[in-house]
Amino acid sequence: MFTQTWHLIKISQVFLVDRITKNDVSGYVIGLCVQTNGADIRDNNVHGNCIGTFVDPRTRGARIKNNHVGPTNAICNAIPDIIQPDFMHGIVVDGATDTLVQGNVIEGQRSNGTATGIVAPL
């Protein structure tokens, strides 16, 4: 019998400030969602999420530096209505410009499909 447990995972951790440092973020579909131009995201521990950090389209000048992005949450494989099997990544920069991703450690990305460290779609 399948029990729906997807409601136990939160969708996103959104901070509406320009600097995010020294946080421990886990249990989200998207750990850190960067939507602020010039945001400085550094020295965070992001783990147990489906995507560690996602930089939104049209975000300019974000800096993603020296973060630890740990293993994905195993529940991500069990919620196909929200997460595609190949939708588990450490850091995603999607349509952002002038964004720096530097000095991050990404490890333990696991998926039924493809899991990647850094994704920057063209």
Taking the C-alpha atoms of residue 119 and residue 39, their distance in angstroms, rounded to an integer, is 19
CA atoms within 13 A on the CB side of 2: 5
What is the torsion angle, in degrees rounded to the nearest 10, for the CA atoms of residue 88, residue 93, residue 94 and residue 99?
170
In a domain, 1, yes or no: no
Using one digit for the tens of pLDDT, what is the confidence trace for 32-62?
A: 989 889 999 999 999 998 889 999 999 999 9
Residue pair 99/85 in contact by the 8 Å Cβ criterion: no
pLDDT of residue 70: 93
Is 0.75 topped by the overall pTM?
A: yes
In a domain, 63, yes or no: yes
pLDDT of residue 117: 81
pLDDT at 105 over 90: yes
Domain span at residue 64? 6-119
In the chain, the number of structural domains is 1
- The least confident of 44-48, 53-57, 98-102, 106-110 is 106-110
